[in-house]
Chain A
Amino acid sequence: SQQGEEDPQALSIQEGENATMNCSYKTSINNLQWYRQNSGRGLVHLILIRSNEREKHSGRLRVTLDTSKKSSSLLITASRAADTASYFCATNQGAQKLVFGQGTRLTINP
Chain B
Amino acid sequence: DTGVSQDPRHKITKRGQNVTFRCDPISEHNRLYWYRQTLGQGPEFLTYFQNEAQLEKSRLLSDRFSAERPKGSFSTLEIQRTEQGDSAMYLCASSFLDSQETQYFGPGTRLLVL
Contacts and interface: CB of A to CB of B under 8 A. Distances in A.
B41 A45 contact: no
A98 interface: yes
A104 B47 CA distance: 25
B100 A43 contact: no
Nearest to B55: A96
Given A96-B31, A97-B33, A100-B42, A43 B56 contact: no
Name the interface size band of chain B: 20 to 34
B25 interface: no
B42 A102 contact: yes
Contacts, number: 69
Contacts of A45: 102-105
A31 to B, nearest CB: 6
A28 to B, nearest CB: 13
B45 interface: yes
B107 A94 contact: no
A2 B40 CA distance: 13
A97 B108 contact: no
Nearest to B97: A96
Interface of B: 4, 6, 31, 33, 35, 40-45, 48, 55-56, 58, 89, 91, 93, 99-100, 102-108, 110
16 contacts: A33-B103, A41-B108, A42-B108, A50-B100, A88-B42, A88-B43, A92-B99, A94-B99, A95-B56, A96-B48, A97-B56, A98-B35, A98-B93, A101-B42, A102-B41, A103-B41
